[in-house]
A and B are shown apart, each in its own frame.
Chain A
Amino acid sequence: MTETLIDGLYREGEPIADTKAPDVPVPEMWTKRKFDAALVNPANRRKLDVIVVGTGLAGASAGATLGEAGYNVKSFCYQDSPRRAHSIAAQGGINAAKNYKDDGDSVYRLFYDTEKGGDYRSRETNTYRLAEVSAGIIDQCVAQGVPFAREYGGLLDNRSFGGVQVSRTFYARGQTGQQLLIGAYQALERQVAAGTVQMFSRHEMLELVVVDGRARGIIARDLVSGEIETHLADAVVLASGGYGNVFFLSTNAMGSNVTAAWRAHRKGAYFANPCYTQIHPTCIPQSGEHQSKLTLMSESLRNDGRIWVPKKAEDCDKDPRQIPQEDRDYYLERIYPAFGNLVPRDIASRQAKNMCDEGRGVGPEVDGVRRGVYLDFASAIERMGEDAVRAKYGNLFEMYEQITGENPYQVPMRIYPAVHYTMGGLWVDYDLESTIPGLFVAGEANFSDHGANRLGASALMQGLADGYFVLPNTIRDYLAKGPFDKLAEDHPDVQDARRAVAERVEKFLSINGTRSVDSYHKELGKIMWEKCGMERTDAGLREAIEEIRALRQDFWSNLRVLGTAEGLNQSLEKAGRVADFLELGELMCIDALHRRESCGGHFRAESQTEDGEALRHDDEFAYVAAWEWGGDGGTPVLHKEDLTFTAIELKQRSYK
């Protein structure tokens, strides 16, 4: 490990490498790994306990599949039912290399698109496997009764999604995530009925139990009774989702949080590429200080809508219909004549922010800035007719009108980017095992498949790939070494973990300060959005780190949480989540600062081409940044995993 601090912020430790991917060509790896992974005798499975935290696509599918295999599963979610997990809100669809359209799709092409979409910052072995298992997901979901869209002949319909040239996306109107999650939820409930899965709803994991270097359980709080519970097991799976709520405003659910992953990080699990966040360009703008979350609208809207802002700042509060054509700046069409309004998500997002920062944004002023740009369907309505526009986008227009009170057939929509997905997460190897033996991480909570940016319709694919097919096949190699020695609840390490949770809960309730949890969360979100959002600079990130540290200090001395630890206390729940976001936010800024290149969703202002395009530096940064917790008051330690590419060639992208 480096003796001196780098940038005054972190140290660099030994490189890290994945040791589980077999040494065969990439397309043969998964078959080989499944064969090499040890089997567990069916009679022994019922003696093995597995904890699964989270019941989204990854967690519910993993829980159901492990239950079907005969393991004892304990499944946890903070919501009142596993069916509520935020996978449910995904709209667009799920990719699979079925090639049902015979349009040249293949496992290799899906792999290629995913790797390229991630700007060559993901591990090709994991990405290839994702593409490889994708087709089986569709089969499984159809057999469960997931009502995908169908053609008149009764076969499944596909559409093209996210700028790719093949139609490989399966969908269920704009509710694909809901339908897939209900399928996984029903499979999970079937195992609850069968007695293989025990469900703990309204429970939140607050600590990981590590004994003799292995993950052996969790400490959870029953959110209804307030009781702190110990749950021990032979292995722990985290499928607890992403951390987009560090920005306060995001398209995530109100309760989405990083606590499970962050607690594991503090116990030794490395956190990889935390700065990689995806910002979605077509969300409904903030309407005021009261805003609690942002709502995404499918980016298919950009196929027919034209994006513009007024040329003159003084026109910004005018009725847009009164602004003549010559006074409008269709800035994407002007700057990117070849792709126009269809430039990739990160470019569309960044340019919208630039326009608003220049003072040419539209819509209500929040904190003195108008954050919105027009997405205008007037020319589409003129060209296709209102009925055709309604047939294509009717449900989105209704949703927009319900939220804003404005009719987009008459007045141009207003849109603004919002945080949507986090590609970073806990570091895992090919087996989805973290740096803590026995701790596995699936779905958005891990970092493994999307590199620096995620291709549309791939989040659902990854969640279900991990849960149905990957994890159940890799975890058996670990479980075959068990059952591990029975642990007593009064084992000192278990007691310590439990005591730490109780003390923290007590601490939140005893600060008795003046500020609410939400006020801290909002302030953190503003720092992150301004300085670690769509465009990052060296100076801005350094400022953000200072500001977060000061805010964190204030949080621990001036927080006000009313009520008690006995029974339901939603402020107390939020306090724990925000405390962890306040630590994660700093690590995100350090990661963003150290990565002096632009790649995918990470745009460093200092690293761009003359045309303002993102500029990667493959010679210096073709690695995964895996961060080790440096202790309270300590500094994080960077471990680099070099990315090697044997199945694909690195290319710099261009959209001009």
Chain B
Amino acid sequence: MKLALSIWRQDGPRAKGRMVRYDIDGVSEDSSFLEMLDMLNEQLISEGEEPVAFDSDCREGICGMCGVVVNGSAHGPERTTTCQLHMRSFKDGDEIVIEPWRADPFPVIKDLVVDRSAFDRIIQAGGYISVNTGAAPDAHSVPVPKENADRAFMAAECIGCGACVAACPNGSASLFMGAKITHLGELPQGQPERDSRVLAMTEQHDHEGFGGCTNLGECTRACPKGIPLNVISQMNGDFRRAGYGY
């Protein structure tokens, strides 16, 4: 298939960006979206133009490294990661607009690559259970009801890609944060730090410049792992409990 691509090009963090149009031909509908970009890059290199920088690593939808906005949607038209989006989702002759995640706390490094280290700092603030290596009791000493374990697992499926932030008109990271608070808050092991965790993480979230949640639900629609909106309710519940004691 033949495609017309409009891609955000930006030479560096402080450089001014621009949309650049590229035509590409001979794309197989069996190739993935990122393989289509690989093909474009080979074409650019042969023409002496610097290839388009974009992030990806596992290319099987689990590491969370990839992510671009395709025709206005985070990760494109299907509910999956950009690396798992395939060209059969497009038609011959399509125009495709490709941009980086757009959010203040995710500054552009180059072209389609953004800096998501704010997510790591939110985890540093409290997204863990404090247990040193060697200090753990036998794994069977604390049974966990299956429904709690299953809900914890569902929330823990978050891959930290940042699509929720890119999709949110407020640039909020509430879905990301709610997923972690739900994951750890469902488990008995997570109870001792449940209050301090939610307070510290939300403080860091706001400090990074992420916006507030207004329950629009764009995040969950863009989430490749289908993390539901109710993890945000659970986080808000924990926040009230921690801050006001109810």
Residues of B contacting A253 in the complex (Cβ-Cβ under 8 angstroms)? 57-59, 63
Is A179's beta carbon under 8 Å from chain B? yes
Contact indicator per residue, chain B 138-151, by CB within 8 Å of chain A (1) or not (0): 11101111100110
Whether A560 contacts B45 by the Cβ 8 Å rule is yes
Q: How far is the CB of A190 from chain B (nearest CB, A)?
A: 5
**Nearest B-chain residue to A174, judged by Cβ:** B62
Is B102's beta carbon under 8 Å from chain A? no
The segment out of B117-125, B166-174, B208-216, B233-241 that lies at the interface is B117-125
Is A384's beta carbon under 8 Å from chain B? no
**Nearest B-chain residue to A293, judged by Cβ:** B59
Residues of B contacting A224 in the complex (Cβ-Cβ under 8 angstroms)? 13, 109, 115
Whether A288 contacts B117 by the Cβ 8 Å rule is no
Q: How many angstroms from the CA of A199 to the CA of B156 in the assembled complex?
A: 23
Residues of A contacting B138 in the complex (Cβ-Cβ under 8 angstroms)? 139
Residues of B contacting A287 in the complex (Cβ-Cβ under 8 angstroms)? 28, 30-31
Q: How many angstroms from the CA of A147 to the CA of B155 in the assembled complex?
A: 10
Is A498's beta carbon under 8 Å from chain B? no
Whether B152 contacts A143 by the Cβ 8 Å rule is no
Which residue of the partner chain, among B13, B86, B139, contacts A402 with CB atoms under 8 Å? B86
User: Which chain A residues in 188-219 approach chain B with CB under 8 Å?
Assistant: 189-190, 192-193, 199, 201
Q: How many angstroms from the CA of A145 to the CA of B190 in the assembled complex?
A: 7
**Nearest B-chain residue to A148, judged by Cβ:** B149
Whether A145 contacts B183 by the Cβ 8 Å rule is yes
Q: How many angstroms from the CA of A383 to the CA of B124 in the assembled complex?
A: 51
Whether B45 contacts A571 by the Cβ 8 Å rule is yes
Q: How far is the CB of B223 from chain A (nearest CB, A)?
A: 15
Residue among A139, A147, A189, A562 facing the most chain B CB atoms (10 A cut-off): A147
Q: How many angstroms from the CA of A652 to the CA of B140 in the assembled complex?
A: 38
Residues of A contacting B160 in the complex (Cβ-Cβ under 8 angstroms)? 81, 83
Which residue of the partner chain, among B27, B28, B57, B149, contacts A84 with CB atoms under 8 Å? B57
Contact indicator per residue, chain B 48-59, by CB within 8 Å of chain A (1) or not (0): 111101011111
Whether A156 contacts B139 by the Cβ 8 Å rule is yes
The segment out of B1-9, B32-40, B69-77, B90-98 that lies at the interface is B32-40
Contact indicator per residue, chain B 72-89, by CB within 8 Å of chain A (1) or not (0): 000000001000101010
Whether B157 contacts A175 by the Cβ 8 Å rule is yes
Q: Count residues of B near A (Cβ-Cβ below 8 Å).
A: 79
Q: How many angstroms from the CA of A182 to the CA of B86 in the assembled complex?
A: 27
Q: How many angstroms from the CA of A192 to the CA of B125 in the assembled complex?
A: 10
Given that A147-B183, A172-B153 are known contacts, is A518 also in contact with B139, CB under 8 Å in the complex?
no
**Nearest A-chain residue to B153, judged by Cβ:** A147
Q: How many angstroms from the CA of A255 to the CA of B11 in the assembled complex?
A: 22
Q: How many angstroms from the CA of A145 to the CA of B186 in the assembled complex?
A: 9
Q: How many angstroms from the CA of A573 to the CA of B32 in the assembled complex?
A: 22
Residues of B contacting A288 in the complex (Cβ-Cβ under 8 angstroms)? 28, 30-31
Whether A189 contacts B123 by the Cβ 8 Å rule is yes
Residues of A contacting B60 in the complex (Cβ-Cβ under 8 angstroms)? 89, 251, 293, 295
Whether B115 contacts A403 by the Cβ 8 Å rule is no
Is A187's beta carbon under 8 Å from chain B? yes
**Nearest B-chain residue to A65, judged by Cβ:** B133
Whether A145 contacts B152 by the Cβ 8 Å rule is yes
**Nearest B-chain residue to A256, judged by Cβ:** B57
Q: How far is the CB of B191 from chain A (nearest CB, A)?
A: 11
Contact indicator per residue, chain A 121-143, by CB within 8 Å of chain B (1) or not (0): 00000000000000010111111
Q: How far is the CB of A582 from chain B (nearest CB, A)?
A: 19
Q: How many angstroms from the CA of A508 to the CA of B15 in the assembled complex?
A: 25
**Nearest A-chain residue to B110, judged by Cβ:** A568
Whether A173 contacts B153 by the Cβ 8 Å rule is yes
Whether B128 contacts A290 by the Cβ 8 Å rule is no
Whether B115 contacts A292 by the Cβ 8 Å rule is no
Is A151's beta carbon under 8 Å from chain B? yes
Q: Count residues of A near B (Cβ-Cβ below 8 Å).
A: 80
Which residue of the partner chain, among B28, B30, B53, B184, contacts A570 with CB atoms under 8 Å? B53
Q: How many angstroms from the CA of A241 to the CA of B16 in the assembled complex?
A: 37
Contact indicator per residue, chain A 83-122, by CB within 8 Å of chain B (1) or not (0): 1111011000000001010000000000000000000000
Given that A145-B184, A172-B153, A189-B123 are known contacts, is A516 also in contact with B46, CB under 8 Å in the complex?
yes
Given that A288-B30, A288-B31, A568-B110 are known contacts, is A64 also in contact with B57, CB under 8 Å in the complex?
no
Whether A89 contacts B63 by the Cβ 8 Å rule is yes
Given that A139-B136, A193-B124 are known contacts, is A290 also in contact with B88, CB under 8 Å in the complex?
no
Q: How many angstroms from the CA of A519 to the CA of B43 in the assembled complex?
A: 12
Q: How far is the CB of A135 from chain B (nearest CB, A)?
A: 8
Contact indicator per residue, chain B 103-119, by CB within 8 Å of chain A (1) or not (0): 00000011001011101
Q: How many angstroms from the CA of A139 to the CA of B136 in the assembled complex?
A: 6
Whether A201 contacts B42 by the Cβ 8 Å rule is no
Is B189's beta carbon under 8 Å from chain A? yes
User: Which chain A residues in 375-410 approach chain B with CB under 8 Å?
Assistant: 402-405
Is B64's beta carbon under 8 Å from chain A? yes
Whether B124 contacts A189 by the Cβ 8 Å rule is yes
Which residue of the partner chain, among A84, A154, A178, A186, contacts B143 with CB atoms under 8 Å? A154
Q: How many angstroms from the CA of A316 to the CA of B61 in the assembled complex?
A: 31
Which residue of the partner chain, among B62, B65, B116, B152, contacts A147 with CB atoms under 8 Å? B152
Residues of A contacting B86 in the complex (Cβ-Cβ under 8 angstroms)? 402-403, 405
Is A163's beta carbon under 8 Å from chain B? no
Whether B57 contacts A86 by the Cβ 8 Å rule is yes
Whether B32 contacts A81 by the Cβ 8 Å rule is no
**Nearest B-chain residue to A561, judged by Cβ:** B45
Whether B28 contacts A472 by the Cβ 8 Å rule is no
Which residue of the partner chain, among B48, B58, B62, contacts A562 with CB atoms under 8 Å? B48
Q: How far is the CB of B1 from chain A (nearest CB, A)?
A: 12
Which residue of the partner chain, among A142, A172, A175, A290, contacts B35 with CB atoms under 8 Å? A290
Q: How many angstroms from the CA of A83 to the CA of B157 in the assembled complex?
A: 13
Residues of B contacting A295 in the complex (Cβ-Cβ under 8 angstroms)? 59-60
Is A27's beta carbon under 8 Å from chain B? no
Is B19's beta carbon under 8 Å from chain A? no
Given that A89-B63, A145-B190 are known contacts, is A403 also in contact with B133, CB under 8 Å in the complex?
no
Residues of B contacting A152 in the complex (Cβ-Cβ under 8 angstroms)? 146
Residues of B contacting A324 in the complex (Cβ-Cβ under 8 angstroms)? none
Q: How far is the CB of A324 from chain B (nearest CB, A)?
A: 28
Residues of A contacting B150 in the complex (Cβ-Cβ under 8 angstroms)? 147, 150
Residue among A80, A154, A295, A563 facing the most chain B CB atoms (10 A cut-off): A80
**Nearest B-chain residue to A570, judged by Cβ:** B53
Is A510's beta carbon under 8 Å from chain B? no
Q: Could you tell me which A residues sit within 8 Å of B by CB distance?
A: 61, 64-65, 68, 79-86, 88-89, 98, 100, 136, 138-145, 147-156, 172-173, 175, 178-179, 182, 185-187, 189-190, 192-193, 199, 201, 224, 251, 253-255, 287-288, 290-293, 295, 364, 402-405, 468-469, 472, 516, 518-519, 560, 562-563, 567-568, 570-571
Given contacts A89-B58, A144-B128, A145-B184, 16 further A-B contacts (CB under 8 A): A83-B120, A84-B57, A140-B134, A143-B136, A145-B190, A147-B183, A149-B149, A151-B146, A154-B145, A187-B131, A192-B124, A253-B57, A290-B38, A405-B29, A567-B11, A568-B110
Which 5 A/B pairs are nearest by Cβ-Cβ distance? Answer: A154-B143, A143-B136, A186-B128, A147-B153, A287-B30
